[in-house]
Amino acid sequence: MTKATAHSISPSERDAMRDAIDRALTAQTETGKAGIAASIIRDGSVIATGENEVHLQSDPTQHAEMVAITRAAQALNTTDLTGCTLISTLQPCEMCLAAMRFAGISRVIFAATQDHVAPKYFVFPHLRIDDFQRGDGFTALGGIDEDRILHLYATGEE
């Protein structure tokens, strides 16, 4: 994983991250749960957004990233999301990273990094984001505005 800098992400990616963080903070304030928010962007435009719906849907697969991927596929009427970037407030877990790869998403930008959050967010801690980056152009940029959101995920006691 690469630590992102202001020069490594576009203005639209930066805006999408700020929006996702604002949505996550709002979700945490309104529900008392740790808010996690994601967006899918293509060519500088937001295609879809999602928030964590695990408890709302009683479905452990409804992570914010999965919700955003589903909505983007529906909005574009295709399961091929090649050319899209996923933005998330939390480093995507192993399930979400696999779903991204199956959808053809080859770029992810996130705020809070695995090394700085509670272990509960990663079921297979030995499987790292670097494992998803090997060989085929997958880019992961983390730590964007991490200081704004880290407190939501630090203890895992949402």
118-147 pLDDT per residue, tens: 999 999 988 888 888 776 788 999 999 999
For 61, the 3-state DSSP assignment is: coil
Residue 158: inside a domain:
no
Domain count, the chain: 1
State the CB neighbour count (10 A cutoff) for residue 129. 20
Residues in Cβ contact with 131 at an 8 Å cutoff, skipping those fewer than 6 apart = none
| pLDDT for residue 54 | 85
Residue 32, both tokens: 């008392």
| pLDDT for residue 131 | 83
H-type alpha helices, the chain: 11-31, 54-57, 64-76, 94-103, 129-133, 146-153
| pLDDT for residue 150 | 93
Residue 2: inside a domain:
no
Residue 67: inside a domain:
yes
| pLDDT for residue 127 | 87
CB 68 within 8 A of CB 23: no
| pLDDT for residue 50 | 95
- Give the range of the structural domain holding residue 51, as residue numbers without chain letter: 11-152
> Which residues are the active-site residues?
65
Residue 54: inside a domain:
yes
| pLDDT for residue 5 | 52
Residue 18: inside a domain:
yes
Amino acid at residue number 3: K
| pLDDT for residue 82 | 97
| pLDDT for residue 97 | 94
One digit per residue, the tens of pLDDT, for the chain of length 158 reads 556 555 589 999 999 999 999 999 998 777 766 689 999 999 999 999 999 988 888 889 999 999 999 999 999 999 999 999 999 999 999 999 999 999 999 999 999 999 999 999 999 988 888 888 776 788 999 999 999 999 999 887 76
Residue 43: inside a domain:
yes
Residue 157: inside a domain:
no
| pLDDT for residue 142 | 95
The CATH number of the domain where 84 resides is what? 3.40.140.10
Residue 1: inside a domain:
no
